[in-house]
Structure 1
C-alpha cells in the first residue's frame, strides 16, 4: 500500500501558490485495510476515506468507463491492481495529473510540469470528451490562471463535445457551481472567453453570448462592443474583491442589449426592462440562489436610474428607494450601487472616472431612513394616511439633503 498527494495540491505547490486542500490516492489497498487503519468512508460512488487525524481525503486508485451521456454516466473500478498511472490517466488536464509520493518525489507520466512551465491547459487523453463538466473546469481554471492558454487540440475536443450535445446534459446546479466559482477568481472574463471560443457559452448562457457584436454609442462606451464592455465590468468587480452577488449582477446587467433591434443600434432604449426579464429567465434556468438572483434583477432594472439620479426630484428618489426595498434591506441596495459602479468603471479608458452617484444615493437613503416611521404612524388618526405621511416626511428630509449635496447640473 502506497499513498500519493495528487491534483491541485501538487500543481499549486509547483507554481509556488498556497496549498489549501490536499487530496490523496491510495494504491495497492482494499477498503477493508483502510477501515482497519481508522479511515472513515465518505464516498458514495467510489471508495473515498477521511484520514483519522488530518481528515484529508484519501481515494482508492480507480479507473472509469463511460456508460451514458452527461457527467454522471460512469462506472468506476477501484481495486488494489489499479496503478497510479491508471488513476492519473482519467484526470482532466495534464497539470492536474501529477502526484508526489511521501518523500516528495514527483510522478508526472503525462508531462504536466512541462505544461505548467509553458502555461498550457492540455487534456490528458481523449477520455476528456466523456465528461462535459471538464469544459466548465477548463474555463474556470482560465479565470484563475489568466496567463494560461488552451491547447488547440484540447479546444477542438471541447468544440466536439458542444457539437455532439454533451454540454446539453449538464444539470443546472453543476453549471451554476462552476460559473460561480469562476466568477470569484481574479479574471472572470477569461472563463467566458474560453466558453465562447469552444461554443459552450451559446449553449449555457445564450443571453450573455448574444452581447458580442452588439454596438453601443462610442461617446459613452469607447470599447463599443457590449460583450467587451460586460467583460470589463465583471473584471473590475473582481479587482475590487466584490462579493459573488455583486459580480453576478455586474455580469448580467446589460442582457437586454442583446435583444435590441439592429435597426436602432447603437441606441438601446428600454434595455433595462428587457434585461430584467432575461435575468429572471437565466436565474430560473440555472436555479441561481435567491441572494444572487434578487440583486441581479434589481441591478438590471435600476442601473440606468442610478446613473441618472442627479436628475431625480426628492419625491422620485424616495419612491426609488421604496421600489428597491432599500428601507428594509439597505445592504442589498448598497450592493446594487456597487454593481452599478462596476458598470460605470467597465469602459475602456474610463476606469478611473469618478462615480459620485453612489455616495450621493447612499447619503440620500440615510437621510430618508432617519425618519421615525413608527412615530409618524402613531400620530395619524386615519390609517389610510400613514403611507402618505411617511412619504411626505421622507421627501422633506431628502429635499434638504438634495439641496445641500446635489452637484450643479451642466
Structure 2
C-alpha cells in the first residue's frame, strides 16, 4: 500500500503557515490490512483509522456517491482499486486537493498550487454541489486566507442555494463553521461570500435583513446597516482575536431591520427591538450562552456607550450592572471593544479616537473599588446596606465625572 500526506497540511505549508494537523490517505489497502497493521478504526461504516502512536488519521482512498440531500447523504467506495487521483477528485477545493508522497513530491492533478498562488478558491469537480457544507467551508477559507471565490464556483454555490441543498445544513454545523470563521483574519468575508451566493438569507436571515436599511447614525447615514455591520465585524477583528467580541459585533444592530410596530412599543429603540432577534438566532444555531449574553448586553447598551460623556452617574451604574461589567474586568473590556468597533465601523472612521470606551472603563474601576464590606459594617438591614453601597458607587462615578470636567476646563 502507498501512503500520502493530503489536504490542509500541504496547503498551509505552501502558504508559509504553521501546519497544525496532518491527514493521510492510504491507497491499495483494505480495512482488514489497516487493522492488521495496528491502526484503530474510527467507526464501522467510515474508512478512517487512527495511528495510535501519533494520533493522526489515515483514511482509505475512496470515492463518494450522493444518495440523499444533506452532507450525510453519501455512500462510499473504499476498495483497494481506488486511485489517489480519484480520492483527490472528491475533495471540495483545488487548494485542498494536493498530496505528497514519501519522497516529498507534490501530486497536484487539479492545479491547486496554481490557485493557491493566485489566491483563488475553485471547486475540483461538479460533485461540489452534492455537499452543502462546502458553501460554509468555502466562505470560511475566503475569510481565513483572504482569497476570492472563482466565478464558476460561486455559480455552483448559488445553484445549491436555489435547489434547496443549503437548507439541509444542521444548526450545529452552521455554528461550527461560523465559529471557526470568527477566528480568521477577515471574518467579515465569511458573511460577504454567503451573501453573494444567496446563502446568508437562508442561514442568517437576521443579518441579510439589514442590507438596504439606512444607517441612523449621524456619520455616513447613506451607508446601509448591512454594510455597516460587516465593517464593524472587520473592526472587531482588528481590535481583538476574541470570538465573543466578534460575534457581538456581528449582531449588535439586528433591531434596525425591524420597525417600531414589530412587537415592541414605539418608544423603544432599535437596540431593544434587536434583543429577541439575537435570542432567536442563538437558539436556532445552538450558540453557547456566553456568546449570547455578551451580544445582548452590547446590543442593548452600545448607544449608551456612545453617549458616555453625557450620561448621569446613576445611568452609568445601571449600564455597568445590566451588562454584568461592574465586578468583571473582562466583561467590561469586551463591551468597550464592541462599542469601539461599532464607532469605527464606517468609512473614514476606521482609526478614530473613541474616549468613551476609556471613560467607561474608568467608571467601572471606580465603582468596583467601593469597599462594600466597610459600608456594611455595623449594619443589619440588608436593604439599607444595598442602598448605601449603590449610593457609594454613584458617588465614585461622580468623582470621575467631576475630574473630567476639570480637565476640560
TM-score, with normalisation over the residues of structure 1?
Answer: 0.93
The Cα offsets for residues 161-211 of structure 1, whole Å up to 9 and x where unpaired, read as 111111111111100011111121111121111111110000001110111
Question: Take 2:260 and 2:201, find their aligned partners in 1: how far apart are those partners?
Answer: 19
Alignment of 1:121-270 (within 5 A): 121-146=121-146, 148-217=147-216, 219-221=218-220, 224-260=223-259, 270=269
Separation in structure 2 between the aligned mates of residue 118 and residue 394 of structure 1, nearest angstrom: 58
Distance of 1:59 and 1:46 partners within structure 2? 9
Instruction: Give, in whole Å, the separation in 2 of the partners of 1:44 and 1:353.
Output: 57
Whether the aligned pair in 1 keeps the contact of 2:214 and 2:221 (CA below 8 Å) is no
Q: Which stretch of the first structure deviates more once superposed, 31-40 or 184-193? A: 31-40
For 1:116, what is the secondary structure of its paired residue? Answer: helix
Query: How many residues are treated as equivalent by the alignment?
Result: 404
Distance 1:269 1:216, change over 3 A: farther
- Deviation of 1:223 after TM superposition, in Å, equals 6.5
Contact 1:89–1:125, Cα closer than 8 Å, also in 2? yes
Task: Look up the SS of the partner of 2:59 in the other structure.
Answer: strand
How far has the Cα of 1:77 moved from its partner? 2.1
Shift of 1:364: 1.0
CA distance in 1, matches of 2:393, 2:13: 57
Q: 5+ unaligned residues in a row in structure 1: which ranges?
A: 263-267
| C-alpha distance in structure 2 between counterparts of 1:409 and 1:346, whole Å | 27
Q: Which residue of 1 aligns with 2:364?
A: 365
Q: Which residue of 1 aligns with 2:384?
A: 385
Q: Which residue number in structure 2 is paired with residue 106 of structure 1?
A: 106
Using the TM superposition, give the Cα deviation of residue 333 of structure 1 relative to its aligned residue in structure 2, in angstroms: 2.5
Matched-pair contact (CA < 8 Å) for 1:3–1:101: yes
Moved more, 40-49 or 235-244: 40-49
Q: Secondary structure at the match of 1:3?
A: strand
Structure 1 residue 45 displacement after superposition: 4.3
Tell me how far apart the structure 1 counterparts of residues 53 and 405 of structure 2 sit (CA, whole Å): 61
Corresponding residue SS for 1:311: coil
* Deviation (angstroms), 1:231: 1.3
Q: How far apart are the structure 2 equivalents of 1:43 and 1:108?
A: 29
Q: Does 1:5 align with 2:5?
A: yes
1:33-72 to 2 correspondences below 5 Å: 33-43=33-43, 45-72=45-72
Distance 1:201 1:49, change over 3 A: same
Match of 2:264 in 1: none
Q: Which string of whole-angstrom CA distances, capped at 9 and with x for unpartnered residues, describes residues 349-374 of structure 1?
A: 11121111111111111111111223
Once residues 218 and 384 of structure 1 are traced to their aligned partners in structure 2, the CA distance between those partners, rounded to angstroms, is 41
Instruction: Kindly indicate whether the alpha-carbon contact (under 8 Å) linking 1:237 and 1:247 is maintained by their aligned counterparts in 2.
Output: yes
- Cα separation, 2, equivalents of 1:7 and 1:65: 20
Counterparts of 1:24 and 1:200, CA distance in 2? 32
8 Å Cα contact 1:5/1:99 also seen in 2 = yes
- Measured after TM superposition, the shift of residue 213 of structure 1 is 1.8
CA contact (8 A) 1:223 1:347 kept: no
SS at match of 1:76: strand
User: Does 82-91 or 321-330 show the bigger shift?
Assistant: 321-330
1:336-395 deviation digits (Å, cap 9, x = unpaired) = 111111101111111121111111111111111111223323432323322211111111
User: Which whole-Å deviations, capped at 9, do the CAs of 1:132-157 have from their partners, x for residues lacking one?
Assistant: 000000000110121x2222221111
What SS does the aligned partner of 1:332 have?
Answer: helix
For 2:235 and 2:285, locate their aligned partners in 1 and report how far apart those are by CA, in whole Å: 24
Confirm or deny: 8 A CA contact 2:260 2:268 kept in the other structure.
no
Given that 1:217 and 1:224 are in contact with CA atoms closer than 8 Å, whether structure 2 keeps it comes out as no
Matched residues in 2 for 1:23 and 1:327: separation?
Answer: 47
Taking only aligned residues, the RMSD between alpha carbons, in angstroms, comes to: 2.1
Q: Measure, in 2, the Cα distance between the counterparts of 1:220 and 1:407.
A: 29
Q: Distance in 1 between matches of 2:259 and 2:241?
A: 29
